[in-house]
Amino acid sequence: MEADDLIAAITQNYNQEFIIISADHDLYQLLSPNVSMYSTKKKKVITEQVFIDEYRVTPEEWIMVKQIAGCTTDNVKGVPTIGEKRAIAFIKKTLRPDLKWYNRIKKNEAMIRQNETLVKLPFEGTVIPKLKSRETFYLANFIEITDEYGFRSMQQIEQLNQWIVNFGMV
């Protein structure tokens, strides 16, 4: 279980609006009318519609994109030389069957099926964390939560400074 799984469990089990802050493309599969994402790389909010307009696939189809292309951040091996763009072309049936990339994907169908368990969020059996409602976002609460779930990388001084600035923590 990883942070992605907890984020997925929360966004799929609580009926409220969420903004996920991350650069992790795996999380695109969680986009919905009530879930958007602030991309720390692109420095912009990505809604479900913005994602569909940019990538030409739905968040549900994104799972298959990651099954085919793999995911370097999660150490999931994809089909060799197939990235997100070629995976999307394959899914959308615009990748010509006479191309070597098409054949490479077809030859790796067993691995692609196995990758579903690794890339689909949340991982089966993920515990749904209980959310605590607070009107003010206190730094001490943030540190307590990141400790509880083992997200200590978020406590590095550079990271903490970003959280403080972005969310007005006190």
pLDDT digits 0-9 by tens, 41-58? 888 899 999 999 999 999
Residue range 50-91, pLDDT digits in tens: 999 999 999 999 999 999 999 988 899 999 999 999 999 999
CB 59 within 8 A of CB 29: yes
pTM: 0.80
Distance CA 59, CA 27 (A): 9
* Residue ranges per structural domain of the chain: 3-119, 132-170
Contact yes or no for 8/37 (Cβ under 8 A): no
- CATH ID of 3-119, from 1.20.1250.20, 1.20.140.10, 3.40.50.300, 1.10.150.20: 1.10.150.20
